[in-house]
Amino acid sequence: MPTTTRRVHNFYAGPATMPAEAIARAQSELLDFAGTGMSVMEISHRAKPYMAIQAEAEALVRELLAVPSNYKVLFLQGGASMQFAMVPMNLLPPERHADYVVTGEFAKKALKEAKLLGKTRVAGTGEATNFDRLPSALDLSPDAAYAHITSNNTIFGTQYQAFPETGDVPLVADMSSDIMWRPTDVTRFGLIYAGAQKNLGPSGVTLVIVREDLLERAPENLPSMLAYRTHAKADSMYNTPPTFAIYMLRNVLDWVKGQGGLAEMEARNRRKAEAIYGVIDRHAGFYAGHAQVEDRSMMNVTFRLPGEELEKAFLAGAQEQGFVGLAGHRSVGGCRASIYNAMPLEGALALAEYMEAFARQHG
Ligand code: PMP
């Protein structure tokens, strides 16, 4: 990177910080990709140089998450929000129902779409306590078509540390804001989906990992673009894929691999989260964490200060020191530090230091 380039500590919830190396790699080959004399953006998706990129992106997903061979890896469009509808369209037959665990705004949206399309049940909800914890006991039914969870609640800052047991009922997870934060046993899931714009790359591509036996559940008359089996059969090339977004995803995952893979990501993510939660706990009278301790997210740290004036001063001071994106989501207010895989340890430590100093000065 040119030495004049300035990079802030970027705590946005998504789109979010990406590894500088992944972006610099794109910059270095933007006009001439691998000696083709073309930008990646200008290459036909059916041409070899691009097909190689998409194949590598898929291989990296498979390697990093140890995806078994009976699962398809798909690159789709429409964001995680499109998956809110595609999941029931494909997996929920009219005579059956799906169980939904409602742990935040996105879980509510997922349920809303499913309700439009079929029968649903709420197997647990955290609404009564403003989603500050995950429901402790779930009312899961053994005959559900699938059970849907949100592995990390981006807005409220809660996260499953252990996934619910659903027996033979396929577990479907929206992992948009924590996919690949640590090694994950894919075999526990029937389907995983994630918008790319937190841990995987830029917005514009959505990753879906789906067990092959579930592909055939979709009704015959489901429009082709909405059926997983269409994309599975066509290796995510049924229509023009978002080539540049997939290329960037490749760059990001290649970086993850080079850093030591998901075990290394987990170690770093835990250190980052501990540093920030550590300040919150040491100054418990000043900072109030939104999430109950046992359900705290390692990706999105949500907290309040005593009063809006102090919150404003905290955010203004943070901005001055090069910390960006710390305002909480408009539906909860307060502050939120998103510390995805690409947030360097130094960034989290610098924020912890700022929070410590701010509490000492104003507490
Ligand atoms: N699920 C979760 C957990 C999210 O955090 C988000 C948005 N950031 C979404 C779904 C919606 O994703 P998209 O904007 O890609 O549709």
Of 233, 173, 159, 254, residue with least CA distance to 207 = 173
Q: Is 160 in the pocket of ligand 1 (CB under 6 A)?
A: no
- Residue 187 identity (one-letter amino acid): T
Q: Cα(333)–Cα(304) distance, rounded to whole angstroms?
A: 8
Q: Is the pTM of this model over 0.95?
A: yes
State the pLDDT at residue 114.
98
CA 319 to ligand 1 centroid distance, Å: 25
- Among the atoms of ligand 1, which is closest to the Cα of residue 81? 16
- Among the atoms of ligand 1, which is closest to the Cα of residue 13? 8
Rounded to 5°, the CA angle 358-359-363 comes to: 125
State the pLDDT at residue 331.
79
State the pLDDT at residue 3.
59
Q: What is the pLDDT of residues 240-273, one digit of tens each?
A: 999 999 999 999 999 999 999 999 999 999 999 9
Residues with pLDDT less than 50, the chain: none
Handedness of CA 47, 51, 54, 56 (dihedral sign): negative
CA 46 to ligand 1 centroid distance, Å: 29
State the pLDDT at residue 5.
85
Q: What is the pLDDT of residues 221-233, one digit of tens each?
A: 999 999 999 999 9
State the pLDDT at residue 281.
98
Of 12, 60, 36, 26, residue with least CA distance to 248 = 26
Q: Is 157 in the pocket of ligand 1 (CB under 6 A)?
A: no
CA 4 to ligand 1 centroid distance, Å: 34
Q: Is 58 in the pocket of ligand 1 (CB under 6 A)?
A: no
CA 313 to ligand 1 centroid distance, Å: 29
Name the residue of 75, 77, 106, 113 whose CB sits within 8 Å of the most ligand 1 atoms, as the mutation to test its pocket.
106
State the pLDDT at residue 1.
56
State the pLDDT at residue 4.
73
Q: Is 113 in the pocket of ligand 1 (CB under 6 A)?
A: no
